[in-house]
A and B are shown apart, each in its own frame.
Chain A
Amino acid sequence: MDLTVGDYLDYLKVDAEVAVFAVYVEGFAPRDGVKFLKAAEEISARGKTVCSTAPAARPRAQRRLQATLLLSQETIGSRAR
């Protein structure tokens, strides 16, 4: 299985029937965070919402997600919360 969460969001971002993207993320494949955030940025620019999480029960995964988001945020200049 080579597909990543970034691939899925990038594919779904143009679906006119989807207004809210709820994305359960445990972690990113190498460099996938950038792809994920680029897709999220395009979705947000259309006035749609991406809601993402990492499970609190896995703090290590959550820290990795937050670190990836911060790194990606600096990389592509996106505003991520």
Chain B
Amino acid sequence: MFQLKNELIIWLLVILIVGAFSTQLLAAEKIVINEMMFSGAAQEVLIEQAKRFMEENPDIEVNITWVDYASLHEKMMTELVGGTGRYDVMAAITDFMPEFIGGGYLEPLDSLIEKDPPEGWPDDFPDSLLRYQKDTDGKIYGLPWWDGPVMFYYRKDLFENPQEKENFQKEYGYELNPPMTWKEFLDIAQFFTRDTDQNGTVDFYGAVQGARQGGQNLVYDVLLMLFTNGIEILDENFKPVFNTEDGAKAIQFYADLMNKYKVSPQASTTYDVPESGDFFLNGNCAMHWNWAHIAGFAEDPEKSKIVGNCGYSLMPKGENGSNKSLISYWTYAIPKASKNKEATYKYIKFITSKEMDKLMVEYYGQPVRLSTWNDPGFVEKYPFFPWIAKTHEDIGVVPQVPEFTQINDVLQIAASKVIAQQTDAKTALDEAAQMIEQIMREQGYYD
């Protein structure tokens, strides 16, 4: 009995080992492009795009490996550093582009683009989507594919409700409109935070935040609070400049929304992009800011309880700031170690074409081309499109340095401390600035 099991397993192993190596042997027939992509909103549209590419190019096979978003960065870096050439194309987010480019892991695409430029290159792409995948020499390393400015959302039905408008006018002395400043935001948020079923607990909030430490969103919120108050993270000499009085006030305000004014649920500290989005889509709050996918999700009856009631606006601004938003977009880059660069370029050129960009829209995706945004048919069907273009007019990015991951971590911890009411905002920011300066100094930025 024991022996039989042993034998079976040995045979199984043999078959497996042979099987594991057979893929190498069989692959010689077609050119196989291996892609690493994160699972999520972009999954379905990419599968469709890849399918169409393979239909047009039967001699090339595209093989996509899905990785969970949280582990994506680690996995990508390990592969790039390992230089295995296992993957021919990677979905590289602009947050990490400086890291990838700086490490010398990516193939510059300039010569490939010159030989065979993508449709409408470069004018069909807004400048803000071409800037951040270049290195200091201006060489370009990725084709933009999936956009995502942070947009501001609000419950159109509530804001247009005559009774609400009347009450608001009476109480605050001005008309109820999507807030242009943080002061207005607070007023509106307080107005809408209510206990609608009179059972003693608040069940409708003014807003919700994605303030989970260790998630992806908290750092973006920190940046947004600073940006809208006219504050940058690093200056041209890579020195931290965010720990000013205004900066402290901005972060304190963010934390106060939850703790002092209670217009955002306490549970926000466990919410990341998915949960805070869901909170809004389930109809539990009046206002929200999040990536652009919410606009699409809001109209999908399977995902939202507020279909038809979602309005769009710009980020509110601080006293000394502007309605500036944040962008972080996805490009397709080719690792230097790839063995199929020509075929891969063909692939990424295809999926970033005008037609494929329009296809994105059908899947509630986030297109990147001006021609798509301004397409009259779309503008009618998807009223938020003009807002994407508007949002792009005043937009910022995360600090474009390879040390971003560490800066991210430091900023998140600082914000968390303020939210947990462990320290005040100024102390937390000063501490953070000190740590960031140390990090940059260690990397030789100030020599």
Pair from one complex:
no
